[in-house]
Structure 1
Amino acid sequence: MPPKADKGKEGETKGGAARFGRVRNSLRMGIVGLPNVGKSSLFNLLTEQPLMGLSRHARDASRASDAEPVEPSDTGEHGGGVLIPFSVEWEAKLWATRDDPDARQAFLDGSSGVVSAMPKMVVQGFKELNLGYFFTAGETEVRCWTIQKGTLAPQAAGVIHTDFERGFIKAEVVAYEDFRALATGRGMGEVKAAGKYRQEGKSYVVEDGDIIHFQFNVTTSAKK
């Protein structure tokens, strides 16, 4: 159960922050089992998870003067962590302009330099959960795939399809920043000419933003 909210004068959670308690702060528990089977490791896993908090502004944050200060110590009593301030109302208004580039730009121009907190939420969320990502690209679509940090190329291929991992041969890789700097079209010709298109094997650790083409071969056993 989460800890009870600290109510302010107006009945809101202190600082407008959503509180996320850890197990050790709100629950007494014990783990029973044989010696040396990982009880301590399990308990540490349950009580030391990463923490990220979101602090909702009570007012429209479309004007810089409306941004209420948020103290990082607001999360300290629950073990610390990152606290990201944002305005639901402002984000909703920005989202409503997603299909109209001109209206979106006009809204941002009138927001006194305020920018969306969504990218920061995503980036910080990935960091706290130890997640990474890579891209695959074809003639008709580009896909982004989520993996755990430290994932090897065959296991990353398995996120797409188990056959990719089972029959893994190699990964043809280019870093996103290299592609962005060198490619003037959709092809990889310029990237290859610059020596930035490389082949990696089973021990390659996939990096954030890698654009990967997996080579694999799966043979079907003959039915008896």
Structure 2
Amino acid sequence: MPPKKEVKQEKILLGRPGNSLKSGIVGLANVGKSTLFQAITKCKLGNPANFPYATIDPEEARVIVPDERFDWLCEHYKPKSRVPANLTVYDIAGLTRGASTGAGLGNAFLSHIRAVDAIFQVVRCFDDAEIIHVEGDVDPVRDLEIVSEELRIKDIEFVEKAHENLVKQTRRGGQSLEMRKLKEEQATVEKVLEMLKAGKNVRHGDWAPKEVETINPLFLLTAKPVVYLVNLSEKDYLRQKNKHLPKIAQWVKEHAEGDPIIPISVCFEDRLTTISDEEAAEECKKLNVKSALPKVIITMRKALNLGSFFTTGTDEVRQWTIRNGTKAPQAAGVIHGDFEKTFIQAIAYNYDALREEGDEATVRAKGKIMTKGKDYVVQDGDILLIKAGAAKA
């Protein structure tokens, strides 16, 4: 008999499924969160199209994702309308020690974090006598410990409640499929609880697909991707040196290995927003430094496992955001909900092919334009033309 074909199990990601994912700016009070939020929402992130940011309310804004592929496509097609990708960012109130037990704005703070999909954790590394530190002095490692501990304690509370509920149900016993499923969920929840009590983050665990299906509905704080933003003084940012940086790197290596660390000077970024784009570019050139904001946005998209596809033409060039691994019908659904239901096929080729060949006609002549069906996994940088049937009334 021929060997059985191995079925490749699709990896299920921790976190909320979908493409409209949000990130929250988190940290202790007075570390630079709100100033960073203002800098991101005012700065053009190097996008020459000069699109305004769509501020939804004082605590939330959509920021443009800098992408040279989008810029090139706009230059190539010179469309009437240009719509770049964006990332939704929340400014979340400052955390204090004891937030997990309701201290300060603890409960509100933690519920706001539960509502986002990933965390920008701002860590203060600058001295300023006029900006009081809630803990009395600047000690980034202590601050990292406080935030990490508060999120973990709250997760333990969430998981213990879920465990208590499952135990009540599994006490009934029996061998039904439903009972077997409940017992599997209970085993997963116990594994999560053990990990949290050992001082580890859920996002760093090695979880099987079935375990992820149990973990995701818990909306755990330590399951969310984290990007650490180390807030330096302008002087330290320009020289790329700070006495705290090695200690922060060591702490992240020990407690959150693999999570990105980005040095940034929020006061420098804020200063750039007070001058024109041309003046800001000139200032960066003169100081031989780049704004860190584009890197911040791109790194967060990567942490959220987000990618892009494009729709192009002389009427419009638009960059659409999807989760990496999304299939063609679901990508079509991002354009319009009906397209997912009535999807027929996608005409696809990649940005790299167009850039290399120079125009669509040459890409087509060289056989690089493909017709793809429902099982096609859209690749980052694909240019798609979706064909769908008429929606049923």
**Coarse TM-score class (shorter-chain normalised):** 0.7 to 0.9
Q: How many residues align?
A: 214
- Distance across 1 between alignment mates of 2:260 and 2:142: 15
Alignment of 1:1-224 (within 5 A): 4=97, 11-14=137-140, 20-21=147-148, 25-27=152-154, 28-29=156-157, 30=160, 31=162, 32-33=165-166, 34-35=169-170, 36-37=181-182, 38-39=185-186, 40=188, 41=211, 42-43=214-215, 46=220, 47-60=222-235, 63=238, 65=239, 67-68=241-242, 70-71=245-246, 72-76=249-253, 78-80=255-257, 81-96=259-274, 99-100=277-278, 103-112=279-288, 114-183=289-358, 188-221=360-393
RMSD between aligned alpha carbons?
3.3
Once the two structures are TM-superposed, the CA of residue 170 in structure 1 deviates from its matched residue by: 1.0
Identity of aligned residues (%): 31
* Partner AA of 1:11 in structure 2: D
- How far the C-alpha of 1:90 sits from its partner, in A, is 2.5
**Cα shift at 1:93:** 3.8
Q: Extract unaligned runs of 5+ from structure 1.
A: none
The TM-score normalised by the length of structure 2 is 0.47
Work out the CA distance in 2 between the residues paired with 1:58 and 1:17: 17
Q: TM-score, normalised by structure 1?
A: 0.78
Structure 1 residues 105 and 24, CA, compared in 2 at 3 Å: closer, same or farther? Answer: closer
Distance 2:276 2:319 in 1: 20
Offset at residue 116 of structure 1 (A): 2.3
Aligned-pair CA distance for 1:94 = 3.8
Contact 2:309–2:382, Cα closer than 8 Å, also in 1: yes
More helix by share: 2
Of 30-39 and 194-203, the range deviating more from structure 2: 30-39
Are 1:155 and 1:165, in contact at CA under 8 Å, matched by a contact in 2?
Answer: yes
Query: Would you say the 8 A contact 1:17–1:53 is kept in 2?
Result: no
Distance in 2 between residues matched to 1:14 and 1:118, nearest whole Å: 21
Moved more, 42-51 or 31-40: 42-51
User: Is the contact made by 2:309 and 2:383 (CA closer than 8 Å) also made in structure 1?
Assistant: yes
Task: For residue 10 of structure 1, report the CA deviation from its aligned partner.
Answer: 6.6
Amino acid in the other structure paired with 1:57: L
1:116 match: secondary structure: coil
**Superposed displacement of residue 200, structure 1:** 1.1
CA drift of 1:179 comes to 1.4
* Cα distance change of structure 1 residues 117 and 154 upon mapping to structure 2, 3 Å threshold: same
Structure of greater relative contact order (alpha carbons < 8 Å, 6+ residues apart): 2
Cα contact 2:351–2:382 (8 A) shared by 1: yes
